[in-house]
Amino acid sequence: MATNENLPPNVIKQLAKELKNLDESPPEGIKVVVNDDDFSTIFADIDAWTPYENGVFRMKLLLSRDFPHSPPKGFFLTKIFHPNIATNGEICVNTLKKDWNPTLGLRHVLIVVRCLLIEPFPESALNEQAGKLLLEDYDEYARHARLYTGIHAKPKPKFKSGAISESTTALNVDQTNTSVLSAEIKAAASVAALPLQSSLAPSTTATRGNDQEHAAVVPTETVVNVSAAATTIISAAPAPQKKEGGQAKAQPDKKKIDARKKSLKRL
């Protein structure tokens, strides 16, 4: 319970009871905004019919220290084009002036203010332009009222916290899946760029020896290493070797023949 110094404890107790009742069972078109730390200022959101339909108007009631013996003062915080509401938001209604009764509660006051939006009293106008238009040209008055309502009294959109959380979670999941998919595509592209080679490639080497040719098949081993940084292809193949045993033997025989020729010349 609030402990506001501007109001006596018994008044605070009574206001707390009324505000609780308004919160649990609000009047049609009226929603009270309660500040538990200050009961001297009561806020309420009010909607009405044509020409103020589709608008939400915020108002406040200021309670003095001698409340309820003196009436509260009413003000509209939302700009509105209305004969009985001044340009500064002050509300002119008999219930808050000469017709005030200490037995009247907050519920009654709020209902009277809402009825004032539905049925204005141009004879006691605080906004002379609005009062004159209402008496002389209702269509023009209604046009001005709708214009003010559309500009200043649009209700704020309501969002469900659960829906926002679900949307954010879904967005994060989609981004994660997209990142993983991109990584997989890059890896697959790197592997696809490698040349296809068999693990064992046949290599034929011709060997001559003693006037015979032998075909030898030497396996060529290919190792492919794939890592995140680079792709390396290492190929190892033994160089072909030729054995020329016949030529090695032919060279000593030639030397012997040359030596014999020299000996014959000497003779």
* Catalytic status, residue 115: no
For residues 35 and 37, give the distance between their C-alpha atoms in angstroms, rounded to a whole number.
5
The β-bridge partners of 262 are none
**Are 76 and 88 within 8 A, CB to CB?**
no
Pair of tokens at residue 96: 């808050």
171: number of CA atoms within 13 Å, CB side? 6
Question: H or E stretch including 187?
Answer: helix 161-192
Only one residue has tokens 């989609």, namely: 174
Q: What is the DSSP string of 198-210?
A: -SEEEEEEEEEET
For residues 127 and 134, give the distance between their C-alpha atoms in angstroms, rounded to a whole number.
11
235: nearest Cα among 254, 250, 225, 222: 222
Classify residue 214 by its DSSP letter: E
Burial 158-179, CB ≥16 within 10 A → b, else e: eeeeeeeeeeeeeeeeeeeeee
* Burial class of residue 198 in the structure, from the number of CB atoms within 10 Å of its CB (0-12 exposed, 13-18 middle, 19+ buried): exposed
Pick the catalytic residue: 19, 85, 92, 145? 92
Catalytic residues: 92
